[in-house]
Every structure is written in C-alpha cells, then in structure tokens.
C-alpha cells in the first residue's frame, strides 16, 4: 500500500485490539485460579474448575443438547435450504420475487420475538415436546444463513455446465450431486460453519424453548451464573474458546478464513 | 474420498451419535431453585437416585418463572415442585397440583402441625423459614436493628432488595407502608412514595437467592432482605455477614413440595416427598446449613439450631402473611414497582 | 415445468418459514391488539397503555439510546481499525482479521461475562482506577447503562471491523492514487474519496449493530440487571416471569416494528447515497 498511516491511528487500532482480546485473556487466567471466586491475576494454579464442568451433570447434559441442536438443526437446514437456494438461482424468473425476502425473514425478525412466538405456538398451543420445539427453533434460526451463503456460491456457478450434462443423458438428480454440489462445496461448508456457530451460541431463542431436563449450554451458563460466581464459568468459556480455535484451524486448513469473513 | 464428502459424512455420523444419547432409565424431574445445588445433590439427589434406580433431572429458576413454565405446560413436565407458600397457593388456585395421598407419606405424621397440611389436601411444608435482613458487619456500622434502617442515608448504593416477582418482594412493599405509617393495601400513594425514597440506596434488585449472594461476595452490596435459608451460603461467601436482630419482627415463610397434575411418576413423587421429610434427611439438611427442619423428632445441637427457626415456641412466634390479600395486591403493585425502581 | 420444479425444490423451506415463523409471529402481533370495544383507543388500547406508562416509555427510550450509542461508538472504532487493517501488508492483514473473527465466534454469554468480571466493585477496572489514584474508593459500574454500552461495543466492534474491511478493500486503489497525485493529502483523500465510497458499507454495519443491540437479551440481563431493563429483558420478564402474554406481545410487536422500519429506511438511504450506483 502506498498511503502512509498516521501513527495515532495505528496506536488507536492497537488499543482496539487490546480491548478486543484482553477480556478473553483475563477469562483464561481466571479459569486457572485456585480460589472459589473469580480473580485475575489467578491465585494459585488449578485445573479443578475444568474438572467441575465434567462433575456437574447439568453441564454434561447441556453440552450434549447444544451439540445435538447445532448438528441436527444445521443438517436439517442444509437439507431444506440447499434445494431452496438452488431453486432461487436456477429458476429465478419462474419464482416470485418475494420468495427470497421470505427466506431472510428469520434474520430480520428479532430472535427474541421468534423465541416468544414459537413458545406460544409450538410449545403451548401445539404441545410439541421441549426437545423437538428447541430443534425447530434452532433449524429456523439457521435456514437463512444456509440459503444466503449457498446462494452466493451458486450465483457464480455456470448452470450451462449442468444443462450440458443433462442433455448428454445424465439424470437431473445425479447431475446435481456430481456436477453442482462439488462446485458449491466451499459455500456449503461455509454455511455449515456459520450455522453451527450461530446455533451453538444462541441465547434468545433457546431462552424460551428450553424446559425441564432439556437446556442448552448458553442457557445453563446463565443459570449457573445466577447461582455461583465461581471460576467454572470461566473454564467453560475457555473450553468453548479452545473449540472455537479448533474450528478456525480446520476452516483455515480446508478453505481459508476469508470465507467466514463473508 | 473428497474432503467435502468426508466432512459431510463425519458430521452426519456425529449427529446420529448424539441423537442416540438420550433415553435410558426412568427420569424423575424436580423443579426447585437450584439453590445449594451441590449439597442438595449430596444429601437428597444421590441417595434418592440409588433408592429409586432412576435418573434425577432438574428445572431450576425462581418461584414465578418455574410456576409459569409449569402452567404453560398445563401441569406437565415435572414430577415434584418446590415453592414458597405464596406461589404454591397461586399454583393451587390455578389447578396445577394434585391432592397428596397422605397414606403414602407416613413421615408427615412426624411434622409440626403447621407443616402437615398448610394448604389443605395439597403438599406439605418441608421447611419453615423467616424473612428478615442480612448485612455485612465489616462494612455496615452501626448494625441493622429495624426495617426502618433500610432508609439510612449511609447505606447509599449498598442495598439489593428482592424483586416484586419473588416471595419476599411484596413484603418490601408492606414494610414501606409500615415505614410511612400507613396500610400498604389501602394507601398506595404514601407506600410507594416511601419506596421511592429507597432508590438511592439500591444497586440492583435480585430475582434469586444465589444472585443476592453473588452481589455480596463481589462486594456490590452490603445489606439485603432475604429468607434465612440463604444464610449458610452467605456466610461461606462472606464470613462477616450477620442476620439482623430486628426489633420490629420477622415474617414466616413455609416452603412446600407439590405434585403437579401432569406428573408421570406419581408414586415415585410420593416416595420422594416421604424421603425428604424423614428425620434423617431433615437433620442433615439442617446441620449442613441448607434448611430448617419441620420434622419434630429432629434434635439439633444448640449451635446448629441457632441459625434456624427451630422448635415449637419460635415457630409460633412468627407473623404469618395472608396471601389471599397479598397475591392480588402483588399483581397491582408490579407496574408501580417497576416505575419506582426501573427508571 | 420450470415453475413446478422451482416450487418443489423451494417448498420445504417456504413451508417451514411460513408455518413456523410467519404465522406464529403474526399470531403474536395479533395478540398485541385489544378488542374493538375496549377503552378509549379500541384495538390499539394496549399500545396506548404501553406509552402511557412512564416505566415502559423509559425502557423503550433506554433501549434506543443504548443501541444508538453502541452503534455510533462501534462505527467510529470499527472504521478507524478497518482503515488501518485494510492498509496493512497481506500477512499482517490476515492475522488481524483472524484476531477480529475470534471474539466473534465466542458466544455472547461468555463475552458479557468477561465484563461482569472486569467491571465489578472488586474487578480489574476498579483496581486500576484505585491503584492510579483516579478514584479513592470502588466505583459502582455494574448495572448502569454505561456497563451495558461498553459490553455491547465490545461484542459488536469485531463485526463492524469485518464488514468495513471488506468495504474499504473494494475501493479502487487507482482513485486514491489519482487523488494523491493531484496533490490531496491523506486526510483530504479520506474525507473526499474513502468516506463517501464507504457510506453504503457504514450503513450496512450500522443497521447490523443497531438491530442486534436493540433486540439483545443476554448482555442487558447480565450487565444491566433489573434496574436497567431494555426491551429484550422486559419482554422476557413479561412473558416468563409475569406471565402477561398480551403485554409481552405488545413489546414484541414494538421491537419488530422498530427493526423493520430501521432496515427499510436505511437500505433505501444506502441506495440513495451510494455514489457507485448508476
């Protein structure tokens, strides 16, 4: 780059980054503290708060539920979202324009309003069991991300390749799996990751849809925080951060991080 | 295999793995505050799980939250529910609980009279408590001796009161009426004017006992109003906490256990109630600083008894609240309370 | 034929969103209206009640001001940071982007929790203030609007940086070179070329941050407490604690209206202000 940057601006950027990363480092430190309350710098060194995550059955349960919701919700969203994205791009002229607006509604409508509405309609009126209601909420939450990200990669796909294959006698379904899907691979993976992260971090929808014995990790974290102010929260946070780092390394290795920034 | 297919396959198999995980033995669901979670686990949950061969799961939260969620599910989802008497009264009025078969709970006969059937044919009380004031003696001087001390100017930004949506919240309003020298039920203007004078002293109001303890242990507050069962954990967090000896009296609260109409393990629920009312469990809970006993056969050492509402004589001395009057008033007060403290 | 194939493929998503989102939300909005004969205001009586209550007006106003401040501060911090990041050498740029993405992947609960620890009476910020002699005793910072704003800025700055880096990178380098070869200094170039071209991106970022902070729950719940209620926490209280569903529906409908209006107005504005548009 040719333009020089004013040193004050660089200093400011540095401050912003300290502001962004400092608190995370402090959580990391606090999770290792040997005290029963939260301190930084840590006093004494101990992994017992990490042990505690495993010892508290509510954490074990909610981690499993959170992963179930993230995997299954994202999976279902992919199964119904990819065809929708495909239809939007392939048959754009044949479909009404409002359809693509409909597909972004779950992002436009505030999550907390979705949660409240689902509680009333799905849980109370329709009597759907808690676990399934939660899955519905999580699926709904991530559908627009799937459709948008997959659409973006379909937009640059040349459908004449597909038509050529079909005119050469390849059945349409097979053509989709052998020609189209491999070409939008990176879009699908990006959609998966984005949806997975959205689902696993969700608070506002889950807040209304959790019930006895079925809760997600962020909701359990809030509940635990109301009861204890011990470093367990910090150690759960650290585990989540380490998982995040792992995900980012996998993404970086397979696709390059630019994809998440989109 | 292409990378993409491998990723897809591994995520599908991971999903299948997790989907297969729930199920298994009978699950018995308890709805309670989540307070003293570790001690409850040790004294009640672990031995009960062994006894019933079932898996115990929880719904936690404050009284109002849990009762509402139960109402939304039309009484289904949990097998027993712990509530303070003001909320179990509301639950009974909403038709959410089933009558208790007292023949299946022989231990009820050992309880003090007032605990056996505080609300007719519904659940018994498992503990009796007081609502009063606590303060950190290291930071509050002179000590708290009256409800009127809440209005002291030296307590600026050091107080947390129970929210109106908790058991003790409406009692704050009653005390404000008393402070103003009026009847809170009839003169709301003067009562809420007295409450408004409290605002400078308040840091934030709390919804659960645990939240209040956190506020003490992080030093945000030094005075609060609470039920006595929080005292044990308060002292563990901050040893200098004192239970205020109030010259103008404390308020009695009974905590009850009920079986919701939608319980799927009614027999087990009766067994559970019988179990927590047994002299042995009641004594352990009292000695560990969890709950005051209502089983009259429990003998406590003077030290253990000091923290609790203990013995016939002391129980008789507490003031009872008329919830048929207080509960409707609470709904009326909610908005004014929000206006007073939420601005 | 094409029409049929298109609909068949799009139908699962269409049905799911219609039945599980559009209809439930429509029912909620419907519930927020009263009956025609009720009160002076007929079917909008519940809204009249909402605005007649000083407390509810206050919650709405507080939500607007907090979300507004969060948006403005995040815009300023995000733009400056993105400007520097976009002009870094490639290796440094990718590192800086990774460092900005990372907090974004960490949940809102965890990131709000960090500030609960930092801003407490015995937290780091108070320790620093006292050690440097800026204050004598601990300052009560939790449960104030300031605490909510700081934590939300913390949550949304990474988002803003990522959006704006993308925007700034798309500004053609030639334009800036042309500008400096004509004698414009970096400051003049920034205000005359970069900023106008970045406006659509700034609007997108502002809409994202404003709507997310206007509707958030976890951060105001943890850092604002019961005294600094915002629309999200108030909706939760009405729905789950007070069990007042019509009241909660009014809150939900107002939130929805604010968000839809913001998005519509701002996208229109972005289109009009876009200097690249034909």
Residue B11 inside a domain? The answer is: no
Q: CB B165 to CB C240 under 8 A?
A: no
What sign for the dihedral angle of Cα C123, C129, C133, C139? negative
* Per-residue model confidence (pLDDT) at position B17: 47
Q: CB C80 to CB A16 under 8 A?
A: yes
What is the overall mean pLDDT for chain A? Answer: 86
- Does residue B280 share a domain with residue B248? no
Query: B243-285 pLDDT, tens per residue?
Result: 998 888 788 889 999 999 999 999 999 999 999 999 999 999 9
Find the mean pLDDT for residues C174-198: 82
B-interface mutation test, from C226, C234, C237, C239, most B Cβ less than 10 A away:
C226
Provide the domain limits for residue B109. Answer: 26-128+253-314
CATH code of the domain containing B78: 3.40.190.10
Percent of chain C with pLDDT over 90: 49
CATH code of the domain containing C90: 1.10.3720.10
Residue A36 inside a domain? The answer is: no
Judged by a CB distance cut-off of 8 A, whether residue B206 touches chain C is: yes
Residue C35 inside a domain? The answer is: no
Residue A37 inside a domain? The answer is: no
Residue B143 inside a domain? The answer is: yes
- Does residue B268 share a domain with residue B147? no
pLDDT band at C1 (very low <50, low <70, confident <90, very high): low
Residue A189 inside a domain? The answer is: yes
* Per-residue model confidence (pLDDT) at position A262: 44
* Per-residue model confidence (pLDDT) at position B160: 94
- pLDDT higher for C116 or A229? C116
Residue A142 inside a domain? The answer is: yes
Whether residue A193 is predicted with pLDDT greater than 60 in this model: the reply is yes
Residue C197 inside a domain? The answer is: yes
Q: CB A103 to CB C17 under 8 A?
A: yes
**Angstrom distance (rounded) from CA B263 to CA B70:** 11
Find the residue in C nearest to B166 (Cα): C241
Number of domains in chain A: 1
Instruction: Show residues of chain B in contact with A119, CB under 8 Å.
Output: 72
Residue B18 inside a domain? The answer is: no
Find the residue in C nearest to A238 (Cα): C110
- Does residue B121 share a domain with residue B41? yes
Query: C21-76 pLDDT, tens per residue?
Result: 999 999 999 999 988 877 788 889 999 989 988 889 999 999 999 999 999 999 99
What is the overall mean pLDDT for chain B? Answer: 87
* Per-residue model confidence (pLDDT) at position A124: 87
* Per-residue model confidence (pLDDT) at position C135: 85
pLDDT band at A254 (very low <50, low <70, confident <90, very high): low
CB atoms within 10 A of CB B313: 7
* Per-residue model confidence (pLDDT) at position A255: 62
Number of domains in chain B: 2
**Angstrom distance (rounded) from CA A14 to CA A9:** 9
**Angstrom distance (rounded) from CA C148 to CA A70:** 28
Q: CB C242 to CB B203 under 8 A?
A: no
Residue B1 inside a domain? The answer is: no
* Per-residue model confidence (pLDDT) at position B1: 44
* Per-residue model confidence (pLDDT) at position B13: 52
Query: B101-147 pLDDT, tens per residue?
Result: 999 999 999 999 889 998 989 999 999 888 999 999 999 999 999 99
C neighbour chains, 3+ CB pairs within 8 Å:
A, B
- Does residue B258 share a domain with residue B273? yes
- Does residue B190 share a domain with residue B56? no
CATH code of the domain containing A128: 1.10.3720.10
Residue B12 inside a domain? The answer is: no
Residue B71 inside a domain? The answer is: yes
- Does residue B263 share a domain with residue B176? no
Three-state secondary structure string covering chain A: CCCCCCHHHHHHHHHHHHHHHHHHHHHHHHHCCCCCCCCCCCCCCCCHHHHHHHHCHHHHHHHHHHHHHHHHHHHHHHHHHHHHHHHHHHCHHHCCCHHHHHHHHHHHCCHHHHHHHHHHHHHHHCCCCHHHHHHHHHHHHHHHHHHHHHHHHHHCCCHHHHHHHHHCCCCHHHHHHHHHHHHCHHHHHHHHHHHHHHHHHCCHHHHHHCECCECCHHHHHHHHHHHCCCCHHHHHHHHHHHHHHHHHHHHHHHCCCHHHHC
- Does residue B120 share a domain with residue B59? yes
Residue B222 inside a domain? The answer is: yes
**Angstrom distance (rounded) from CA B314 to CA A11:** 67
Three-state secondary structure string covering B22-91: CCCCCEEEEEECCCCHHHHHHHHHHHHHHHHCCEEEEEECCHHHHHHHHHHCCCECCCEEEEEHHHHHHH
Provide the domain limits for residue C182. Answer: 57-273
Number of domains in chain C: 1
Q: CB B210 to CB A75 under 8 A?
A: no
Find the mean pLDDT for residues C232-238: 92
- pLDDT higher for B210 or B22? B210
Provide the domain limits for residue A86. Answer: 57-261
Q: For residue A168, with 0-12 CB atoms within 10 Å meaning exposed, 13-18 middle and 19 or more buried, which class applies? A: exposed
- Does residue B118 share a domain with residue B166? no
Tokens of C161: 């940086």
Residue B72 inside a domain? The answer is: yes
Residue C9 inside a domain? The answer is: no
- Does residue B118 share a domain with residue B137? no
Whether residue B192 is predicted with pLDDT greater than 90 in this model: the reply is yes
B-interface mutation test, from A63, A125, A135, A227, most B Cβ less than 10 A away:
A227
- pLDDT higher for A43 or B155? B155
**Angstrom distance (rounded) from CA A67 to CA C174:** 48
Instruction: Measure the CA dihedral A135/A140/A144/A145, to 10°.
Output: -20
- Does residue B236 share a domain with residue B206? yes
Find the mean pLDDT for residues B6-24: 51
């Amino acid at each position: 780059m040719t333009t020089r940057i004013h040193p004050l601006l660089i200093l400011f950027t540095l401050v912003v980054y300290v502001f962004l990363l400092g608190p995370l480092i402090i959580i990391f430190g606090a999770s290792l503290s040997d005290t029963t309350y939260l301190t930084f710098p840590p006093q004494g060194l101990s992994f017992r708060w990490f042990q505690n995550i495993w010892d508290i059955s509510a954490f074990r349960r909610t981690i499993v539920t959170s992963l179930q919701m993230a995997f299954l919700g994202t999976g279902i969203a992919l199964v119904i979202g990819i065809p929708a994205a495909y239809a939007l791009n392939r048959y754009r002229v044949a479909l009404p324009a409002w359809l693509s607006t409909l597909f972004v509604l779950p992002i436009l409508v505030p999550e907390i309003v979705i949660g409240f509405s689902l509680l009333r309609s799905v849980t109370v009126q329709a009597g759907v069991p808690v676990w399934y209601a939660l899955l519905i909420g999580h699926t709904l939450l991530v559908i627009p991300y799937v459709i948008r990200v997959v659409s973006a990669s379909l937009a640059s796909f040349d459908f004449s390749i597909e038509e050529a294959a079909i005119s050469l006698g390849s059945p349409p379904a097979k053509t989709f799996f052998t020609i189209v899907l491999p070409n939008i691979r990176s879009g699908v993976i990006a959609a998966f990751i984005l949806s997975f992260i959205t689902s696993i971090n969700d608070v506002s929808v889950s807040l209304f849809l959790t019930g006895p014995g079925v809760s997600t990790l962020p909701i359990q974290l809030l509940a635990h925080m109301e009861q204890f102010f011990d470093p367990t929260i910090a150690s759960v946070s650290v585990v989540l951060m380490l998982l995040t780092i792992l995900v980012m390394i996998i993404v970086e290795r397979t696709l390059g991080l630019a994809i998440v920034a989109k | 295999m292409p990378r993409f297919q491998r990723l897809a396959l591994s995520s599908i198999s991971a999903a299948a793995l997790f989907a297969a995980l729930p199920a298994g033995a009978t699950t018995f669901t308890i709805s309670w505050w989540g307070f003293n979670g570790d001690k409850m686990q040790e004294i009640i949950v672990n031995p009960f799980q062994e006894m019933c061969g079932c898996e115990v799961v929880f719904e936690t939260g404050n009284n109002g939250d849990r009762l509402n969620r139960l109402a939304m599910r039309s009484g289904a989802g949990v097998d027993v529910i712990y509530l303070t008497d003001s909320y179990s009264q509301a639950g009974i009025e909403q038709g959410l609980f089933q009558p208790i078969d007292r023949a299946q709970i022989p231990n009820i006969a050992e309880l003090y009279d007032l605990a056996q059937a505080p609300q007719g044919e519904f659940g018994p009380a498992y503990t009796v408590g007081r609502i009063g004031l606590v303060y950190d003696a290291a930071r509050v001087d002179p000590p708290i001796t009256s409800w009127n001390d809440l209005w002291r100017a030296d307590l600026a930004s050091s107080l947390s009161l129970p929210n109106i949506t908790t058991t003790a919240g409406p009692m704050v309003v009653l005390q404000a009426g008393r402070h103003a020298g009026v009847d809170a039920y009839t003169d709301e203007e003067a009562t809420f004017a007295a409450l408004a004078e409290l605002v400078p002293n308040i840091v934030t109001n709390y919804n659960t006992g645990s939240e209040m303890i956190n506020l003490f242990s992080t030093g945000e507050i030094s005075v609060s109003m609470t039920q006595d069962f929080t005292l044990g954990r308060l002292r563990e967090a901050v040893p200098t906490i004192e239970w205020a000896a109030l010259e103008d009296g404390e308020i009695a609260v009974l905590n009850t256990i009920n079986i919701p109409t939608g319980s799927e393990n009614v027999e087990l629920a009766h067994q559970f109630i019988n179990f927590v009312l047994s002299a042995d469990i009641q004594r352990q809970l009292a000695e560990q600083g969890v709950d005051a006993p209502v089983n009259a056969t429990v003998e406590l050492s003077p030290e253990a008894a000091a923290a609790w509402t203990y013995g016939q004589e002391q129980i008789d001395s507490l003031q009872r609240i008329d919830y048929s009057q207080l509960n409707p008033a609470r709904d009326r007060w909610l908005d004014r309370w929000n206006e007073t403290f939420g601005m | 034929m094409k029409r049929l194939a298109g609909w068949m493929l799009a139908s699962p998503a269409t049905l799911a969103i219609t039945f599980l989102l559009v209809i439930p939300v429509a029912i909620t909005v419907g519930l927020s209206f009263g009956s025609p004969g009720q009160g002076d205001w007929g079917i909008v009586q519940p809204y009249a009640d909402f605005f007649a209550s000083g407390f509810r007006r206050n919650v709405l106003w507080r939500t607007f001001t907090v979300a507004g401040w969060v948006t403005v501060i995040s815009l300023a911090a995000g733009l400056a940071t993105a400007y520097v990041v976009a002009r870094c050498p490639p290796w440094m740029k990718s590192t800086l982007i990774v460092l900005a993405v990372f907090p974004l992947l960490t949940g809102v609960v965890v990131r709000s929790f960090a500030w609960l620890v930092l801003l407490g009476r015995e937290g780091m910020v108070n320790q620093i203030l006292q050690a440097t002699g800026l204050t004598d005793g601990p300052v009560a910072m939790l449960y104030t609007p300031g605490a909510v704003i700081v934590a939300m800025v913390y949550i949304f700055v990474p988002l803003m940086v990522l959006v704006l880096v993308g925007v700034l990178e798309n500004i053609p380098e030639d334009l800036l070179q042309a500008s400096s070869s004509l004698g414009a200094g970096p400051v003049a170039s920034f205000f005359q070329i970069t900023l106008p071209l970045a406006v659509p991106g700034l609007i997108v970022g502002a809409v994202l941050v404003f709507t997310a902070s206007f509707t958030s729950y976890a951060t105001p719940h943890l850092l604002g407490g019961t005294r600094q209620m915002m629309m999200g926490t108030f909706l939760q209280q009405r729905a789950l604690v007070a069990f007042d569903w019509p009241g909660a529906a009014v809150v939900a409908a107002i939130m929805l209206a604010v968000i839809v209006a913001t998005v519509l107005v701002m996208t229109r504005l972005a289109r009009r202000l876009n200097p690249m548009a034909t």
